[in-house]
């Protein structure tokens, strides 16, 4: 008996082949002139002196029975394969095992196919989650549930005008001065940063588990597809009913 993965490998190709072949047969069936033939004999009324003309004939180029036979062959092969595949999918199951532990038991292969795609989306989702600025040191704040930085302090300054004397006054000349501003400390900012993002360590740990799960689902899918399946017949009874046995 074939294995389910062997049936899966050919179903898609057979679907395309059958669709293409039946479409061509349908096009042929619409060309009525191909199904028409004739033979024509001429006999003059005056058989002694009348004009003699050669017989004419047109061969029938296509037979409906031949089209039906060819279509039935394609449909029978495809319908049998799909029924065999679907019957196998009903029975094919495997456990999802991570690090030797069964995470989910007896999962149908159709669900494994679904989960395989879903966990890929899960990896994308987790990999794009924001993480806090690595330049800061962060800790979990139980009172807010957020990440909390260490306290930092910075000076607040104010610009104040200041006059400097460049040249002192003399009897002949007044003093030369210049006005400029300088930053004068006036206070201290105390700052704590908060972040609702996920810590880089936690994100990396989750991603590692997601990737283990990805590998486990792929392994389970391959295991389920090793099921031996009995070939099923759908085409023969259904097409016999339609066209007669």
Quick one: what percent of the chain has pLDDT higher than 90?
Answer: 85
Q: Which of the residue ranges 54-63, 176-185, 204-213 would you say has the lowest mean pLDDT? A: 176-185
pLDDT, mean of residues 199-215:
96
Tokens of 41: 């004999």
Largest interatomic CA distance in the chain: 160
Read off φ and ψ for residue 100, nearest 5 degrees: 80, 0
What are 125-153's pLDDT values in tens digits? 999 999 999 999 999 999 999 999 999 99
Give how far Cα 155 sits from Cα of 5, 98, 158, Å: 70, 54, 10
Read off φ and ψ for residue 95, nearest 5 degrees: -90, 145
* pLDDT at 2 exceeding the cut of 80: yes
pLDDT, mean of residues 177-187:
86
**Overall size of the chain counted in residues:** 245
What are 78-126's pLDDT values in tens digits? 999 999 999 999 999 999 999 999 999 999 999 999 999 999 999 999 9
Give how far Cα 214 sits from Cα of 4, 78, 105, 225, 242, Å: 21, 32, 16, 17, 46
Quick one: what percent of the chain has pLDDT higher than 70?
Answer: 100
CA 179 – CA 175 distance, rounded (Å)? 13
Compute the mean pLDDT over every residue in the chain, rounded to the nearest whole number: 94
Yes or no: say if 46 and 195 are a contact pair by the CB < 8 Å rule. Answer: no
Going by C-alpha positions, the residue among 73, 81, 17 that lies closest to residue 243 is 73
What are 146-181's pLDDT values in tens digits? 999 999 999 999 988 888 877 787 877 787 888 888
CA 41 – CA 64 distance, rounded (Å)? 27
Read off φ and ψ for residue 233, nearest 5 degrees: -125, 115
């Amino acid at each position: 008996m074939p294995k389910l993965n062997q049936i899966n490998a050919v179903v898609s190709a057979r679907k395309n082949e059958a669709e293409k072949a039946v479409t061509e047969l349908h096009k042929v069936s619409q060309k009525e002139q191909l199904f028409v033939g004739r033979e024509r004999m001429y006999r003059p009324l005056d058989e002694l002196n009348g004009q003699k003309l050669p017989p004419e004939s047109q061969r029938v180029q296509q037979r409906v029975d031949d089209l039906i036979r060819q279509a039935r062959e394609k449909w029978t092969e495809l319908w049998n394969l799909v029924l065999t595949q679907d019957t196998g999918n009903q029975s094919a199951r495997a456990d999802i095992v991570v690090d030797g532990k069964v995470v989910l038991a007896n999962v149908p292969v159709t669900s494994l196919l679904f989960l395989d795609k879903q966990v890929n989306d899960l990896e994308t989702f987790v990999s794009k989650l924001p993480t806090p600025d690595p330049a800061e040191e962060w800790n979990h704040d139980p009172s807010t549930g957020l990440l909390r930085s260490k306290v930092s302090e910075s000076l607040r300054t104010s610009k104040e005008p200041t006059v400097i004397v460049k040249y002192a006054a003399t009897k002949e000349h007044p003093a030369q001065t210049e006005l400029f501003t300088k930053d004068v400390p006036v206070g201290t900012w105390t700052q704590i940063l908060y972040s609702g993002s996920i810590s880089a360590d936690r994100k990396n740990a989750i991603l590692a588990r997601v990737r283990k799960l990805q590998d486990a689902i792929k392994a389970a899918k391959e295991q389920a597809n090793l099921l031996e399946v009995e070939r099923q017949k759908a085409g023969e009874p259904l097409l016999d009913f339609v066209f007669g046995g």
